[in-house]
């Protein structure tokens, strides 16, 4: 066991905390602009506003008035949560934390002038910019599919209406029909997400359409929590689920949304629902800002600042940081490190060494919850995993039920941590 | 009274998977409670906890805001030693030293 007595502060005795608002360096209140009000951005905005007690001016740019979480959206598909319980608005961030919430799209970043341009016109100046725009889909990743096909073949990989559409399609499937998922290649948001979705679709179908089939077309050799999912699928859903991997040509898949067919390495199948989850990249604004290298935006592991620009920080799915999975939990954890660093740069507040953590819960069937998680530390090169754990196969039902209950507690806590 | 420190105690207890010596654990808790508590550091460390521990009791994660400092120190020491088992909490507690536990306990015992 590692010794972990961290006297990093060196000032424990003298460290009688100076309470109250941190002092700002310079004259006018420094300005922080946060783009994206999701897991990373909402958390960062809230922590910067709260910890600075008004000494820092925080603007949050987010086009939607209500954010529907992707986390727990599979439970909605499984009929275990209603959509309203997944929706969160920005009222408290504005009224209690004094955050200037602007419902608009950021369409450009002028890094020399340090301004963010808005779709509605005008621009917002910043001293520090935080980008947490989430993901976009890579064009041409699944031949035959593009965003114009998302009604016929939903991705349901951004929250809200796409999730509702997919559940409606599952419920409307003909008796004995086929639900197909084209799973994404690595890296993508929420590694166990597609497989939790399969579990929840199987749960619904086993109740309303028990002769239906589920087909996963997966370009990856293996996936997160695979042994746990496979054990659970066997136990709860018998032979309903079939997975075609790269050994059968799954990486060579195309779709025809008009015909509702899927072509797997030359073999054409008719399907009733086709959930296409394409390959992903950082949200467009990160590319427009010119801070990406390939698909993602590389960051410094110690504080989530961009490797390309010290005045920009990138959080969550868009960041290329190392070992942390692209999850809401990770984005929330990274946001706190970023908030502390931003406050340290703009005010006299103390900067603490980064610490990151993540836990991802997944539901295999009602009351059958599993989890995987780790703690992380920054190294020069990346955010590196230090200690980790994963649920075991063959666990008692009481353990799984308790794990599910934990996930409910986590959902309530993290959404409060994001939105106040 | 033998003072061994948390890391030494953990090293002594864990390999044998033996039940921790109550007096040693008790002394360790008292030692941590006697440390000067850095509440600003506690507030920073607590931000790791609030991803899961909210205010109010929905679901299966307990509220820790407002718990007595002695209880929080005892729980974290027990997780550190494996005397109390929970995968997430043991993973989190592994990287908490005495100062961190003292700071967290001071912060949460005063939080509401
Ligand atoms: C099915 C599914 C299940 C999941 N389950 C879990 C789970 O159980 N646990 C977990 O931890 N994670 C889970 N996730 C992953 C989690 O949702 C993401 O990792 C997380 O939301 C990432 O946070 P983010 O801040 O990077 O992006 P997001 O939360 O997506 O936020 C990005 C925000 O930026 C806004 N935006 C984008 N571009 C612009 C722009 N140009 N201007 C202004 N605003 C912009 C968007 O409107 C959006 O609100 C799941 C994901 C899916 C799809």
Would you place residue B21 in the very low, low, confident or very high pLDDT band (cuts 50, 70, 90)?
confident
Tell me how far apart the alpha carbons of residues A270 and A178 are, in angstroms, rounded to a whole number.
8
- A121 token code pair: 């016109």
Distance CA A144, CA A256 (A): 6
Nearest CA to ligand 1 atom 34: A36
User: Exposed, middle or buried by CB within 10 Å (0-12, 13-18, 19+), for A236?
Assistant: middle
What pLDDT, in 10s, does the model give residues A365-406?
Answer: 999 999 999 999 999 999 999 999 999 999 999 999 999 999
CB A254 within 8 A of CB A142: yes
User: Which two three-digit tokens encode residue A54?
Assistant: 């008004």
**Which whole-number Å values give the CA distances from A59 to A30, A131, A149, A310, A335, in the listed order?**
11, 12, 34, 19, 15
Q: What is the mean pLDDT of residues B101-112?
A: 95
**Which residues in B lie closer than 8 A to residue A410 (C-beta atoms)?**
51-52, 59, 61
3-state secondary structure of B52: coil
Containing structural domain, residue B102? 2-54+62-110
Block residue for tokens 């910043």: A126
Chain-centroid distance of CA A51 in Å reads 24
Average pLDDT, chain A: 94
Q: Average of pLDDT values for A73-87?
A: 98
Residue A311: CB atoms within 10 Å: 14
For A159-186, what is the mean pLDDT? 98
Residue B19 or residue A126, greater confidence: A126
- DSSP assignment of A95-108 equals HTT--EEE-S-EEE
* pLDDT (0 to 100) of residue A167: 98
pLDDT at A217: 98
Q: What is the pLDDT of residue B56?
A: 85
Q: Which residue is closest to B11 within chain A, CA to CA? A: A1
**DSSP label at residue A57:** E
* Start-to-end CA span in chain B (Å): 35
Contact B47 A336 (CB under 8 A): yes
Q: Do A373 and B88 touch (CB under 8 A)?
A: yes
Q: What are phi and psi of A235, to 5 degrees?
A: -70, -45
Phi, psi (rounded to 5 degrees) for A240:
-70, -30
Average pLDDT over residues A154-164: 97
Give CB contacts under 8 A, 24+ apart, made by A52-55. A52/A21, A52/A22, A52/A343, A52/A346, A52/A347, A52/A349, A53/A20, A53/A21, A53/A22, A54/A21, A54/A29, A54/A98, A55/A21, A55/A22, A55/A23, A55/A24, A55/A29, A55/A30, A55/A347
Token output for A192: 């166990």
Task: Pick from A10, A413, A419 the residue to mutate for testing the B interface (most B CBs within 10 Å).
Answer: A413
| A331 Cα: distance to centroid of ligand 1 (angstroms) | 9
CA A363-A385-A356 angle, 5° bins? 80
Separation between Cα atoms, residue A314 and residue B103, nearest integer Å: 29
DSSP A119-135: TTS-EEE-SEEEE---E
Q: How many domains does chain B have?
A: 1
pLDDT of residue A9: 31
What does the pLDDT average to over B54-74?
94
Residue A71 in contact with partner chain B when CB distance is under 8 A: no
Ranges A16-20, A122-126, A132-136: which has the least confidence: A16-20
- Two domains, one topology: A5-136+280-353 and A140-276: yes
The torsion angles phi and psi of A363, rounded to 5 degrees, stand at -110, 125
Determine the 3-state secondary structure of A193 from DSSP: helix
pLDDT of residue A12: 33
Mean pLDDT of A117-124: 97
What is the distance, to the nearest Å, from the Cα of residue A293 to the centroid of all Cα atoms in its chain?
Answer: 20
To which residue do tokens 């864990």 refer? B14
Q: Residue A336 pLDDT > 90, yes or no?
A: yes
Token pair of A265 as six digits: 């390495």
What's the average model confidence in pLDDT over A400-417?
98
Does residue A10 register a pLDDT over 60? no
CATH 3.50.50.60 holds for A140-276: yes
The C-alpha atoms of residue A344 and residue A128 are separated, in whole angstroms, by: 12
How much is the ipTM here?
Answer: 0.90
Domain boundaries, chain A: 5-136+280-353, 140-276
For residue A18, the cross-strand partners are none
Q: Of B39, B62, B7, which Cα lies nearest the Cα of A9? A: B39
Kind plus residue range of the DSSP H or E element containing B99: helix B98-110
CATH number for the domain including B9? 1.10.760.10
Sorting pLDDT into bands at 50, 70 and 90, what band is B13?
Answer: low
CB contact under 8 A, B87 and A340: no
Residue A61 beta carbon below 6 angstroms from any ligand 1 atom: yes
Nearest-by-CA chain B residue for A14: B38
CATH class for the domain made up of A5-136+280-353? alpha beta
Smallest Cα–Cα separation from A418: which of A343, A319, A315?
A315
Q: Which residues contact A333 (CB under 8 A, 6 or more apart)?
A: A324, A356, A357, A358, B48, B51
- Asked whether the bond before A293 is cis by omega within 30 degrees of 0, the reply is no
Q: Given a cut of 60, is residue B3 above it in pLDDT? A: no
Question: Rounded to the nearest 5°, which phi and psi values hold at A3?
Answer: -80, 135
The model's confidence at residue A26, banded by pLDDT at 50, 70 and 90, is: low
Q: What is the pLDDT of residue A389?
A: 97
Q: Looking at A161-311, which runs of residues are DSSP E strands? A: 178-182, 213-217, 241-244, 253-256, 261-264, 267-270, 273-276, 280-282, 297-298
- Hey, which residues does A361 pair with through a beta bridge? A371
The β-bridge relationship of strands A280-282 and A135-137 is: antiparallel
Write down the pLDDT at residue B12: 64
Mean pLDDT value of segment A135-164 = 98
| 3-state SS assignment for residue A311 | coil
A358 ligand 1 Cβ < 6 A:
no
Instruction: Give the distance (Å) from ligand 1 centre to CA of residue A98.
Output: 23
């Amino acid at each position: 066991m590692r010794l972990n007595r961290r006297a990093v502060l060196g000032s424990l005795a003298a460290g009688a905390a100076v309470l109250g608002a941190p002092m700002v360096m310079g004259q006018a209140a420094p300005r922080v602009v946060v783009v994206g009000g999701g897991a990373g951005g909402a958390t960062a905005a809230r922590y910067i506003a709260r910890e600075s007690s008004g000494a820092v001016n925080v603007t949050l740019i987010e086009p939607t008035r209500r954010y529907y979480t992707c986390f727990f959206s599979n439970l909605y598909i499984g009929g275990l949560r209603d959509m309203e319980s997944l929706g969160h608005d920005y009222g408290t961030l504005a009224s209690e934390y004094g955050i200037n919430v602007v419902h608009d799209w950021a369409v450009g970043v002028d890094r020399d002038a340090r301004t963010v341009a808005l779709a509605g016109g005008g621009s917002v100046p910043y001293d520090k910019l935080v980008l947490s725009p989430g993901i976009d889909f890579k064009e041409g990743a699944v031949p035959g599919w593009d965003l114009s096909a998302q009604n016929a073949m939903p991705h349901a990989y951004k929250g809200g209406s796409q999730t509702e559409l997919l559940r409606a399609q599952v419920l409307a499937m003909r008796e004995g029909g086929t639900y197909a998922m084209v799973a994404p290649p690595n890296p993508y948001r929420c590694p166990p997400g597609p497989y939790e979705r399969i579990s929840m679709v199987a749960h619904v179908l086993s109740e309303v359409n028990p002769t239906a089939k589920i087909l996963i077309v997966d370009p990856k050799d293996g996936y997160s929590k695979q042994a746990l999912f496979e054990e659970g699928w066997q136990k709860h859903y018998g032979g309903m689920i079939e997975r075609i991997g790269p050994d059968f040509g799954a990486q060579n898949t195309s779709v025809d949304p008009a015909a509702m067919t899927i072509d797997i390495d030359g073999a054409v199948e008719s399907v009733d629902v086709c959930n296409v989850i394409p390959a992903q990249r950082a949200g467009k604004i990160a590319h427009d800002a010119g801070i990406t290298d390939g698909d993602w935006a590389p960051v410094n592991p110690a504080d989530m600042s961009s490797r390309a620009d010290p005045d920009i920080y990138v959080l969550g799915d868009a960041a290329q940081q190392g070992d942390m999975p692209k999850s809401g939990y990770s984005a929330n954890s990274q946001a706190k490190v970023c908030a502390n660093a931003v406050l340290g740069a703009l005010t006299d507040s103390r900067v603490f060494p980064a610490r990151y953590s993540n836990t991802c819960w997944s539901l295999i069937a009602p009351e059958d919850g599993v989890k995987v998680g780790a703690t992380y530390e920054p190294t020069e090169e990346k955010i590196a995993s230090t200690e980790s754990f994963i649920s075991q196969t063959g666990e008692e039902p009481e353990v799984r039920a308790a794990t599910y209950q934990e996930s409910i507690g986590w959902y309530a806590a993290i959404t409060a941590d994001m939105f106040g | 009274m033998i003072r061994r420190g948390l890391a030494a105690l953990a090293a002594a207890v864990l390999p044998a998977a033996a039940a921790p010596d109550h007096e040693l654990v008790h002394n360790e808790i008292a030692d941590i409670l006697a440390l000067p508590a850095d509440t600003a550091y506690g507030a920073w460390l607590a931000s790791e906890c609030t991803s899961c521990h909210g205010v109010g009791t929905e679901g299966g994660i307990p509220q820790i805001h407002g718990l007595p400092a002695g209880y929080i120190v005892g729980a974290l020491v027990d997780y550190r030693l494996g005397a109390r088992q929970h995968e997430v909490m043991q993973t989190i507690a592994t990287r908490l030293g005495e100062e961190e536990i003292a700071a967290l306990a001071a912060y949460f015992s005063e939080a509401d």
